[in-house]
Every structure is written in structure tokens, then in C-alpha cells.
């Protein structure tokens, strides 16, 4: 499993191609991007804050759980932090498996868990001001 937290952009295809995953018959990727509008406000900048030590630990737990549950051969997660502009890439989740069903399900499971468990917080900066994006609470803590 590869987990990277970085301020710089990434090339999803190049990142996936760089890994030679033996036995893989399927590869599914999810790329999340910065919305350029939110509730009729034009988003100029998105600031992403995170808790570095916990982010890495939580993403590792999320990736390991998905690997086991969905028989994934490899997992790659890249998440950016810092200041991003509209339409920029935020996150890449790519998974490899022997067959497509596991890859689709595994990728979705990681993205869903990431959005409710990984300690990231977004602040949208628009001409009207700055607004924290409403967040999610882990299912087991609701």
C-alpha cells in the first residue's frame, strides 16, 4: 500500500502506471477535484488542513481494511493539502484486483471511509468570505 500526503499536483495515470501489480486484471481509480462553485458562491481557493500523523495512520487502516474485505492486490492513495484552486485535483484512490467487481467495490469503500474518517478539513475562500465545509462523522461514532 502506498499513501502520500503532499501539496503538489499529481498525474493519476502516471502514478498508476508506475506500479507493476502482479496478478491484476482490474484497476479502478477515483479522482476528486475542487468544485469551482458552492451554493452559488464562486470558489477562488480551497484550503485543506489535516492532522498529518493521524491522516497517515487512518488512511493506512482504511486501505488495509479494504484490501482484506475486497481482496485488493494493491492500494494507492494520494491526498493533497494546503491551498488549491478551482478544478484542481485533490485526491487519488487507485486499487488493483484480479477482477473488476472487487476493484470497483474496494475503491468505493476507501473513498467512502476516507470522507468520513480521515482528518482533513476544507475551507472555501470566495469573494464573499471564507466558509468551512460541513463535515462528516465516522459511522461508529454517530
Partner 1 sequence: MITVRCFATVREILGYAMRELPPSHEPQLASDILTVIAGERAADLPKPLLVAINCEHASLTSPVKDGDEIAFFPPVSGG
The size of the interface with partner 1 (CB under 8 A), counted in residues, is: 33
- Contact pick of 19, 57, 125, 131 for partner 1 (by CB under 8 A): 57
Q: Which three cell numbers stand for residue 73?
A: 492486490
Q: How far apart, in Å, do the first and last CA atoms of the chain sit? A: 29
Contact between 54 and partner 1 by CB under 8 A: the answer reads yes
Choose the stretch contacting partner 1; rule: CB under 8 A; options: 15-23, 37-45, 96-104, 110-118: 110-118
- Cα 47 from Cα 51, distance rounded (Å): 14
Contact between 125 and partner 1 by CB under 8 A: the answer reads no
The candidate with the shortest Cα–Cα distance to 105, out of 78, 138, 76, 72, is 72
CB of residue 25 vs partner 1: minimum separation in angstroms?
A: 27
CB of residue 42 vs partner 1: minimum separation in angstroms?
A: 19
Q: Which residue has the cell 475551507?
A: 123
Q: Which residue has the cell 469573494?
A: 127
Our CB check for partner 1 shows the closer of 68 and 139 to be 139
- Cα 2 from Cα 17, distance rounded (Å): 14
- Contact pick of 22, 23, 40, 141 for partner 1 (by CB under 8 A): 141
Our CB check for partner 1 shows the closer of 19 and 57 to be 57
Q: Which residue has the cell 485535483?
A: 89
Region of residue 73 (phi > 0: left; psi between -120 and 50: alpha; otherwise: beta): alpha
Residues that bind partner 1 (CB under 8 A): 32, 48-51, 53-54, 57-58, 79, 90-91, 111, 114-123, 132-138, 140-142
Amino acid at each position: 500500500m502506498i499513501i502520500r500526503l503532499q501539496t503538489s499536483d499529481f498525474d493519476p495515470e502516471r502514478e498508476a502506471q508506475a506500479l507493476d501489480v502482479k496478478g491484476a486484471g482490474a484497476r479502478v481509480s477515483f479522482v476528486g477535484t475542487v468544485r469551482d462553485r458552492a451554493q452559488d458562491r464562486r470558489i477562488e481557493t480551497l484550503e485543506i488542513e489535516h492532522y498529518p500523523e493521524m491522516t497517515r495512520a487512518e488512511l493506512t487502516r482504511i486501505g488495509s481494511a479494504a484490501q482484506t474485505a475486497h481482496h485488493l492486490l494493491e492500494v494507492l492513495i494520494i491526498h493533497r493539502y494546503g491551498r488549491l484552486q478551482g478544478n484542481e485535483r485533490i485526491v487519488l484512490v487507485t486499487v488493483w484486483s484480479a477482477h473488476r467487481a472487487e476493484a470497483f467495490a474496494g475503491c468505493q469503500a476507501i473513498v467512502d471511509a476516507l470522507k468520513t474518517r480521515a482528518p482533513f478539513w476544507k475551507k472555501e475562500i470566495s469573494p464573499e468570505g471564507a466558509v468551512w465545509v460541513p463535515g462528516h462523522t465516522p459511522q461508529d461514532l454517530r
